[in-house]
């Protein structure tokens, strides 16, 4: 086992709760608990009696600390693959700290952030992509991100990467063997054979890379900017979506002078919404700054919601916004449908080239249609977690991109009629890049950096 010393930490949040858990892992875990735990009724017990809960009390010498349950898990059949003890105590901050101090007093040391999961990785129980999924589960902000992270923890990404690496290493081994023993292994016609296999490898990597945009949306949310003329109902829409009075709403055009940001969920999708100043020509210096910031925010947006006041005709300000949203992911919200409308929905669809949702922020109608439109736009209306893998990690995306480029270099070498040893150089680079995703031959500094982002106790 990698971890020769014994570590301990509070595994639950440091706040008062019904139950708190102190986790202990390492060579001395069982001997430490033997010193501080007494079974209820003074009954004899053994650390050989694992994978079941034991009820009793934690003592520091003769001082009774708490009534607890303990769970003994003998390595390698534990989270860290080491001997592990979990102490379930009463969940006051003071009690958890007191028990942790006692465990440390009898031979453990405080665990570093992510050290339990790091040991699970170093001891071979999980690979690096699965370890990263642990933190993704903890940080998941919506059910799609949660399901994707659970899928990764179960090894879906690992299996795909390992399968691809097996194909690559076979070709490398074949080339190297043929170069070493040309009398028995021929490379005649091999470039054509490799080119066909390469197409499948490129397709697989491209498929994973293409999923990364959806993966980013799952984890980070959709950068969403609400645009429109003054008094179109942008701030009212913001308040309806947020479920609270976040933006000031008046009948005075130009009330919103600066951007206002809020995070909300629609149909399990996180939207990082920016409400902006109304787009119009103005001599007001402060309002001009707001308009400029609105335009800048729109350039960085994943999604633009263009709010149109259905009760007033389109004008040159609308024309300017329409130009801004062309060739962009955008939804047009034809607002104020509770009033007499003068803007035709079909005409607006034709002029913008975007989907138009009829709504009334004041009456809170059409909001469900907006939610469905956003979901369809970013997730094709459905996510199937049975087979589909989504790349949500930037490090994984970078490694996949480099492996893709290496595969393309091999393809070019074949097309240019280069010697076969050129193939193996780029194939090996692709193999190593794919390996870095699951933690094969990664440098210690990178491992330390990844686990430093974890919370203590995990």
Nearest partner of 307 among 335, 327, 282, 268, judged by Cα: 335
Q: Are 181 and 174 in contact (CB under 8 A)?
A: no
Tokens of 363: 């009456």
Asked if pLDDT for residue 384 goes beyond 80, the answer is no
H helix intervals, 37-127: 93-105, 115-122
- Class of 7-125 in CATH: alpha beta
- Asked if 25 contacts 119 with a C-beta cutoff of 8 angstroms, the reply is yes
Fold held by 221-379: Rossmann fold (3.40.50)
For residue 212, what pLDDT is reported? 85
Mean pLDDT computed over every residue of the chain: 85
pLDDT of 146-166, one tens digit each? 888 888 888 889 999 999 999
The DSSP code for 363 is T
| Mean predicted confidence (pLDDT) in 162-187 | 91
Residue 306 corresponds to which tokens in the numbers above?
């263009």
Domain with CATH 3.30.1360.120 in the chain: 7-125
The mean per-residue pLDDT over the stretch 248-271 comes to: 58
What is the percentage of the chain residues whose pLDDT exceeds 90?
A: 43
Band the pLDDT of 407: cuts 50, 70, 90: very high
Q: Cis bond leading into 439, ω under 30°? A: no
More confident residue, 436 or 281: 436
Least confident of 75-84, 88-97, 139-148, 436-445: 139-148
Residue 138 Cα to chain centre, angstroms: 10
Joined together, the tokens standing for residue 132 give 């990263």
What is the C-alpha to C-alpha distance for residues 158 and 132, in angstroms, rounded to an integer? 12
Homologous superfamily of 132-216+393-438 in CATH?
tRNA modification GTPase MnmE domain 2 (1.20.120.430)
Q: What are phi and psi of 158, to 5 degrees?
A: -60, -45
Distances in whole angstroms, Cα of residue 14 to Cα of each of 18, 456, 457: 12, 10, 10
Rounded distance between C-alpha atoms, residue 346 and residue 310, angstroms: 12
Rounded-to-integer distance, Cα 397 and Cα 105, Å: 44
**252 conformational bin, left if phi > 0, alpha if psi -120 to 50, beta if neither:** beta
Instruction: Give 198's Cβ-side CA count (13 Å radius).
Output: 26
Q: What is the total residue count of the chain? A: 458
How far, in Å, CA of 58 to CA of 103, rounded? 10
Distance separating alpha carbons of residues 212 and 201, to the nearest angstrom: 17
DSSP characters for 292-350? HHHHHHHHT-SEEEEEEETTS---HHHHHHHHHHTTS-EEEEEE-TTSPP-S-HHHHHH
Tell me where in the chain the CATH 3.40.50.300 domain(s) lie: 221-379
The ranges of the chain annotated as CATH 1.20.120.430 are 132-216+393-438
- Give CA–CA dist 431/165, Å, rounded: 6
Prediction pTM value: 0.72
Question: How many angstroms separate the CA atoms of 130 and 23, rounded?
Answer: 20
């Amino acid at each position: 086992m990698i971890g020769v010393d014994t570590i301990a930490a509070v595994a639950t949040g440091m706040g008062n709760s019904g139950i708190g858990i102190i986790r202990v892992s390492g060579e001395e875990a069982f001997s430490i608990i033997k010193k501080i735990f007494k079974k209820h009724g003074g009954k004899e017990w053994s650390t050989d009696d694992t994978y079941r809960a034991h009820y009793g009390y934690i003592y520091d010498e003769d001082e009774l600390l708490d009534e607890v349950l303990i769970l003994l898990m003998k390595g390698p059949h534990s989270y860290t693959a080491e001997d592990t003890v979990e102490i379930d105590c009463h969940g006051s901050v003071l009690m958890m700290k007191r028990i942790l101090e006692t465990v440390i007093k009898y031979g453990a040391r405080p665990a570093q952030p992510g050290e339990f999961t790091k040991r699970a990785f170093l001891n071979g129980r999980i690979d690096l992509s699965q370890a990263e999924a642990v933190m993704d589960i903890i940080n998941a902000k919506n059910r799609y991100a949660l399901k994707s992270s659970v899928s990764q923890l179960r090894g879906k990404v690992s299996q795909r990467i390992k399968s691809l690496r097996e194909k690559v290493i076979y070709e490398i081994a074949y080339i190297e063997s043929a170069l070493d023993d040309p009398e028995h292994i021929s490379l005649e016609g091999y470039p054509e054979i490799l080119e066909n296999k390469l197409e499948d490898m490129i397709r697989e990597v491209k498929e994973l890379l293409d999923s990364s945009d959806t993966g980013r949306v799952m984890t980070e949310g959709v950068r969403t900017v609400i645009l429109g003329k003054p008094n179109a109902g942008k701030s009212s829409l913001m308040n309806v979506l947020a479920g609270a009075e976040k933006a000031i709403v008046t009948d005075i055009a130009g009330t919103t002078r600066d951007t206002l940001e809020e995070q909300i969920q629609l149909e399990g999708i996180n939207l990082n919404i920016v409400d902006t100043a109304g787009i119009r020509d103005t001599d007001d210096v402060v309002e001009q700054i707001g308009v400029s910031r609105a335009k800048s925010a729109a350039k960085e947006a994943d999604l633009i919601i263009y709010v149109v006041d259905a009760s007033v005709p389109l004008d040159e300000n609308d024309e300017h916004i329409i130009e801004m949203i062309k060739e962009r992911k955008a939804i047009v919200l034809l607002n104020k449908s509770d009033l007499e409308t003068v803007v035709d929905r079909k005409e607006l669809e034709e002029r913008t080239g975007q989907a138009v949702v009829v709504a009334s922020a004041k009456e809170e109608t059409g909001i469900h249609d907006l939610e469905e439109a956003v979901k369809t736009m970013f997730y094709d209306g459905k996510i199937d977690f049975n087979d589909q893998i989504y790349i949500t990690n930037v490090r994984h995306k970078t490694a996949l991109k480099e492996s893709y480029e290496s595969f393309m270099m091999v393809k070019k070498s074949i097309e240019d009629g280069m010697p076969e040893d050129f193939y193996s150089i780029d194939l090996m680079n692709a193999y190593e890049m794919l390996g870095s995703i699951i933690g094969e031959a990664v440098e210690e500094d990178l491992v330390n950096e990844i686990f430093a982002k974890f919370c203590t106790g995990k």
